[in-house]
Structure 1
Amino acid sequence: MRRLLFWLALAGLALVAGFAQLDRTARFAPQLAGAVPPAFSGFAAEQRTRHAIAAQDGEDALAEAQALLARRPLPAEHLGLFAVAAAMAGEEERSRAALELAMQRGWRDPLAQQAGAAAAIAQGAHDIAAMRIAALYAIGEGEGASLYAAQLVSTAEGRAAFATRFAKAGHWQRQVPDALSNAAAPDDFAATMALAGEQDAALDCPRLTRIAAQYEAEGHATAAQSLREACAD
């Protein structure tokens, strides 16, 4: 009997280890996420939440995201996923609270920063939007950052806010010329760089000169001239 219990215990440990390994594998092979039982689900629950969000299934997304919130430690990314899921399920107050907490706890979480940037732009909170966008650039999310930045700099207030943030010390600004010039309207981008230059920003003039030449070739003479003048000062 003891021998039987011993082997049953070993089998149980092997099963637990197998599910745990499957859960870890699910992070890199999302198609396996559904095979992981909830009790062993960590990475897999995150993938199931993402799948439900992508499928626009608010009920399932919220259920999976709620399971994520029960785990510790609680990363900001899980709060961000819950915020999206709650919004899809029509629970706006819970979504807003989770988003605010996610942004407080994890500036490196791209989901939280993207949601924060979008909300700030929608509310006309230009300085906050510029801060969120700068954070996205800083964590290497240049493509997503530029989409929000293009929206922000489409207004005079947004251009002023982004130019002020751009003029502050940092390394994230290196990504901006190429990425934002491809996402924003030429006149908006050029005006933003000119405003930043007026605030003594360290402009990458070799790159801006190349962008000016490209703009000129595409028929955006005014934007090209603005960039050249910004670098001439």
Structure 2
Amino acid sequence: MIARLVWHAGLLAVAVVTIAVQLDRQSAVTPAMSRLVPDPARAFAQAQIAATAYRKGSADQALTHAQKLVHQRPVPAETLALLAQAQIKAGQVEEGFVTIQIAAKRGWREPNSQEAMLRLASAAGDDAEATRRYIALMLQNRTEDALLSEFGAQLFGDPDGEGARTLADIVGGSTRWPSAFLQRGARVIPAETFAKVVVAASERGTPFDCRLLQHAAGSLRSKSTTATNRLEALVRRQC
């Protein structure tokens, strides 16, 4: 009899844990369910609660929930980025800047921390660091072209400036994403800088797809004759 009771109690415990975990996962899709998740089982749910507190709650609530989130999930850059936002909202500006820098170093694919670091570096006049953050954002599909165009004009308006030189070093030193750079860079980077970077990267041995190169050259015709001529000359040499 006792064994059966223990067995049923064990099954009940497993069922409760399973339901809690499922609710927690579902809260990532349906934030309203986050409050239904038992406190010990909150992972995704705590992220939703912290984000809601940041948007709608007081500064103290936002900070408390964000700190709890980081305590539960200290590794992901996303949780640190949320903590940084909560710290700044609570008036802990210096602490927030330190946290956002840690988040940006830990997660190059975390867009909020990368955008924050881009803005900070740009405001500080550190065009090289801003360019590195810009590239991290450019490689993410969810980054809006409007943001990239805004900072593209600031960082790469001078084809011979520090931002443009850093961009040329990054593109010329990588063979992993030249196609992505051709496709998106032509839209969001000033035409003459874009063309100069592509030519410089090609001279360093970076391979560019001829079809994409021709398309990029065509897309610049309405922007800059000089840039178009540079890319068309590269097409003739390379393709």
Same-fold call, TM cutoff 0.5: yes
Report the CA distance between 1:66 and its aligned residue. Answer: 0.8
Relative to 1, partners in 2 of residues 1:81 and 1:219: Cα closer, same or farther, differing over 3 Å?
closer
Report the CA distance between 1:177 and its aligned residue. Answer: 1.3
SS at match of 1:170: coil
Specify the alignment match of 2:50 in structure 1.
Answer: 49
Do residues 223 (structure 1) and 224 (structure 2) align? no
Deviations 1:68-98 (A, max 9, x none): 1111552222112212222233321111221
Q: Give the distance between the partners of 1:39 and 1:159, measured in 2 at CA.
A: 49
Specify the alignment match of 2:194 in structure 1.
Answer: 189
Do residues 152 (structure 1) and 155 (structure 2) align? yes
Report the CA distance between 1:167 and its aligned residue. Answer: 0.7
Q: Give the distance between the partners of 2:206 and 2:57, measured in 1 at CA.
A: 42
Q: Give the distance between the partners of 1:145 and 1:166, measured in 2 at CA.
A: 20
Deviations 1:4-62 (A, max 9, x none): x8567765554343222201211233332233243321111112333444559654432
Relative to 1, partners in 2 of residues 1:232 and 1:84: Cα closer, same or farther, differing over 3 Å?
farther
Relative to 1, partners in 2 of residues 1:219 and 1:74: Cα closer, same or farther, differing over 3 Å?
closer
Specify the alignment match of 1:68 in structure 2.
Answer: 69
Relative to 1, partners in 2 of residues 1:20 and 1:171: Cα closer, same or farther, differing over 3 Å?
same
Relative to 1, partners in 2 of residues 1:211 and 1:107: Cα closer, same or farther, differing over 3 Å?
closer
Deviations 1:206-227 (A, max 9, x none): 32322222332x3643332232
Q: Give the distance between the partners of 1:152 and 1:71, measured in 2 at CA.
A: 38
Specify the alignment match of 1:17 in structure 2.
Answer: 18
Q: Give the distance between the partners of 2:18 and 2:164, measured in 1 at CA.
A: 54
Relative to 1, partners in 2 of residues 1:192 and 1:85: Cα closer, same or farther, differing over 3 Å?
farther
Equivalent in 175, 194, 212 of residue 170 of structure 1: 175
The AA in structure 1 aligned to 2:167 is F
Deviations 1:164-212 (A, max 9, x none): 1111033033211111222233344334434544655444443232222
For structure 1, the residue ranges without an aligned partner over 5 or more in a row are: none
Specify the alignment match of 1:113 in structure 2.
Answer: 114
Relative to 1, partners in 2 of residues 1:53 and 1:162: Cα closer, same or farther, differing over 3 Å?
farther
Q: Give the distance between the partners of 1:136 and 1:219, measured in 2 at CA.
A: 24
Relative to 1, partners in 2 of residues 1:51 and 1:176: Cα closer, same or farther, differing over 3 Å?
farther
For structure 2, the residue ranges without an aligned partner over 5 or more in a row are: none
Identity rate, percent: 29
Q: Give the distance between the partners of 1:104 and 1:214, measured in 2 at CA.
A: 34
Alignment: residue pair count: 230
SS at match of 1:144: coil
Whether the 8 Å CA contact 1:203–1:231 is kept in 2: the answer is no
Q: Give the distance between the partners of 1:38 and 1:57, measured in 2 at CA.
A: 21
Give the TM-score normalised by structure 1.
0.77
SS at match of 2:220: helix
Q: Give the distance between the partners of 1:101 and 1:219, measured in 2 at CA.
A: 39
Q: Give the distance between the partners of 1:91 and 1:77, measured in 2 at CA.
A: 19
Worse-matched range after superposition: 115-124 or 165-174: 115-124
